[in-house]
Structures are given as C-alpha cells and as structure tokens.
Amino acid sequence: MTKTYNIAVVPGDGTGPEVVAEGIKVLNAVASKCDFSLDFSEHNIGGEQYLASGDILTESNIESLAAADAIYLGAIGHPDVKPGILEKGILLKLRFEFDQYINLRPVKLYEGVDTPLKDKGPDDIDYVVVRENTEGIYTGAGGSFKYGTPDEVAIQESINTRKGVERCIRFAFEYCRKRNKARKLTLCGKTNVLTYAFDLWERTFHEVAEEYPDIETDYAHVDAICMWMVKNPEWFDVIVTDNMFGDIISDLAAMIQGGMGIAAGANINPEKVSMFEPIGGSAPKYTGQQKINPLAGILAAGIMMETIGESTAAAYIDAAVAKVLREDLKDLAAGKMGYTTAEVGDLLVEHIESAK
C-alpha cells in the first residue's frame, strides 16, 4: 500500500496562493515519482478572511491543522490590516500553539544565482540558521504604563527557559551531525550585553557540546555574525541563535543567497505538526500577476519532504530547483524571471519527471 500524507494548505494572503499552487504541483510530481501520495486540504485563513468575518484563527482551524501531517503556508499579511494583528494572530499563534520550537532556515547559494557578496560563490555560501521559535522577545511578555503620556513606559521582555534553550541547541547539534558538512556549530548571541539571557544560552551550549565531541563549536556576537556573514560566509556551517537574532540574521542571509524569492523556512516541532513557508511576505503589489518567484515556497516544500521522512523526494526537488536556476531563470526577482510563476512550476515538474 502506498503511504498517504495529509497536508494542510494555508495559501493565505497576497501572492501566497500563487506560490503554494506551484508548490503543490511540484509536490504531486515528486510524490508520484517516489510512490507515495499526498492529500491536500485547503484552509481559509488570512487577512481577507479576517476582514470578512472578524475571525483570525478559530479553534476549529487549529484542530484541523493539528490533525495534518504537515502545514504548507503561503503568506500572511494584508495592506488593510494594521501590522501586528495577523502576524501575532496567525503566524506566531500557530508557531506557539503547535510548539514549533525550531525555525530552520537553510542558506545556500545555487549555481547561476547572483549574490551581492563580491568574489563569493556557491562553495562559500552554504549554511543553516537554526532559530529558536517559541521564546525570546516573541512571547509578547511586557506591557505599557501611562500609555500616550510623557511618562510612558514600554517594557518588552525576553523570555529564555532552560528547556527551550536546551531543546533548540540540542536540535542544532543533531542537525549539524546529520548534515555532516563542516560539522561546526556556531552560537550567535550577545553575551557582552544580554548577560542573563545569553549566559543561559552559553552555559547550555557548552554543556550540550560535551555530548557532541565530533562537532566543532564556535561563538560570535550577533553584530559580529552580521559582519562575518558578509565578509567570510564560508566560516559558517550551522548557526544556532535566539528568536529575535535569528529573525534578523536570516533576512541578511536571504539576501546573500539571492533574495526573498529563494529563501525558505520551516517551523519544526519534531514530535508534532510542523509548518513550512517561504520567508518572504505576501507582496501585495504583485498579487495575481503571476510575477512572483515561487522557488522559496517550493524549497519550503522540499524541507517538508525531508522533515516527514521523504528524503528522496526532497532531493528531487532540490535537484530540479538547482537545474531551473542553472539553465532557465534569467533573474530571481519578481517579474524578471523570464517566466510566469506557473511556468516556473511547470519547468520544475518537467525536470522532476525527466530526472533519473
């Protein structure tokens, strides 16, 4: 009997639906190639739905997503909704609700893709950011006092628990070992200023490291990491860091690997349901125009295959993306690819079908 996976699809806002449509095409192509099947269910969650009904994310949404083997997300964000509402009410809520404590962001420069870094190529840019995804400044702890007055106080607290920090660091060590590249894990922190939070991170890092004598360890402050990511990206293999720093350095990394059109991420709970998404937003100005680059969403689908245990399918997706970048696409930017969004999906399907 062939195996079937239930994939909950949240196309979301803006260009999200156009992107996930291509991801689904590609997923179906690898499923038939690898002899398993995918059952997609679509979930209407996002800015449009919120504006129409006032509901952001209902209990029944959460229940049905929880029952899936994986969640495939397009984009969340709507120009008519105040910033923060959808991000907190949907994206962050799902990450927290499903305790997706890892945000995995591979950074790889494919052949044929331009990087803004002078004299650096695919051999130099190939690392992974492991971002803690449920704690830090993102918990929403804090508050305002004397709001709107000259005496206003605004507090935003960073929450770091031993459990949260340790499971993230442990995942990073395991991932680094499994990836088996340079076998080097760099902790990105700010031990010189955040002397409580990163003291916990650093102590935990060294303690866990003792269980991984085969992995080289390194430490750099987040500001220095930004510098080295530009100057010597070849120094990195796997980087582990907290939620906020991970958010920031992964956008820098996205530009280094060729832009938002190719930056994919995964929100992982190794024991429960994980969620896969392109890092970029909903790009309202390109909505419905078939200009958006679907590759980030397709690479996210590839990480999904890897995470659910279909690594051959993941390898087909990666090889097809590499081929399309080497041979077909003129540019990664929206509207400059030389193909429509759907044509890029079609090319990938052709490459997958003709692959050995």
48 with 16: CB under 8 angstroms?
A: no
Instruction: Could you list the beta-strand ranges (E) of the chain.
Output: 4-12, 37-42, 70-75, 102-108, 126-132, 142-145, 153-156, 184-189, 216-221, 238-241, 264-268, 274-278
Give the shortest CB-267-to-Mg ion separation in angstroms.
12
Give the shortest CB-251-to-Mg ion separation in angstroms.
5
Using the rule CB under 5 A, give the single segment among 62-70, 80-88, 219-227, 242-250 that binds Mg ion.
242-250
- Is 251 noted as a catalytic residue in this protein? yes
Pick the closer one to ligand IPM by CB: 108 or 323.
108
- Is 214 noted as a catalytic residue in this protein? no
By a kind-dependent CB cut-off of 5 to 8 A, residue 22 interacts, out of Mg ion, ligand IPM, none, with: none
47 with 86: CB under 8 angstroms?
A: yes
Residue 289 CB neighbours (<10 A): 14
d(CA 19, CA 77): 14
Q: Spot the catalytic one: 25, 72, 127, 190.
A: 190
By a kind-dependent CB cut-off of 5 to 8 A, residue 75 interacts, out of Mg ion, ligand IPM, none, with: none
Pick the closer one to ligand IPM by CB: 10 or 29.
10
By a kind-dependent CB cut-off of 5 to 8 A, residue 128 interacts, out of Mg ion, ligand IPM, none, with: none
Using the rule CB under 6 A, give the single segment among 32-40, 85-93, 116-124, 345-353 that binds ligand IPM.
85-93
Where helices occur in 40-112 by DSSP H, the ranges are 47-53, 59-66, 85-86, 93-97
Handedness of CA 332, 335, 341, 346 (dihedral sign): negative
Site for ligand IPM in 275-294 (CB under 6 A): 279
**87 is an interface residue for ligand IPM by CB under 6 A:** yes
Q: Spot the catalytic one: 93, 124, 175, 251.
A: 251
60 with 54: CB under 8 angstroms?
A: no
- Is 331 noted as a catalytic residue in this protein? no
DSSP 63: H
244 with 190: CB under 8 angstroms?
A: no
What separation in angstroms does the CA of 52 have from each of 198, 283, 286, 328?
43, 20, 22, 40
Pick the closer one to ligand IPM by CB: 135 or 247.
247
d(CA 225, CA 241): 11
- Is 151 noted as a catalytic residue in this protein? no
Pick the closer one to ligand IPM by CB: 101 or 212.
101
Residue among 13, 18, 237, 247 that touches ligand IPM (CB under 6 A): 247
d(CA 103, CA 300): 12
Using the rule CB under 6 A, give the single segment among 19-27, 87-95, 169-177, 224-232 that binds ligand IPM.
87-95
**247 is an interface residue for Mg ion by CB under 5 A:** yes
Q: Spot the catalytic one: 35, 199, 223, 231.
A: 223
Q: What is the x/- site pattern for ligand IPM, positions 90-129, by CB under 6 A?
A: -xx-------------------------------------
By a kind-dependent CB cut-off of 5 to 8 A, residue 256 interacts, out of ligand IPM, Mg ion, none, with: none
174-184: b or e for each residue (b if 16 or more CB lie within 10 Å)?
bbbeeeeebeb
Using the rule CB under 6 A, give the single segment among 1-9, 36-44, 84-92, 226-234 that binds ligand IPM.
84-92
Pick the closer one to ligand IPM by CB: 31 or 91.
91
d(CA 76, CA 97): 17
- Is 50 noted as a catalytic residue in this protein? no
Q: Which residues contact 240 (CB under 8 A, 6 or more apart)?
A: 130, 132, 168, 169, 172, 185, 186, 187, 188, 205
Catalytic residues: 138, 190, 223, 247, 251
Query: Which residues would be at the binding site for Mg ion (CB under 5 A)?
Result: 247
Site residues (vs ligand IPM, CB under 6 A): 87, 91-92, 247, 279
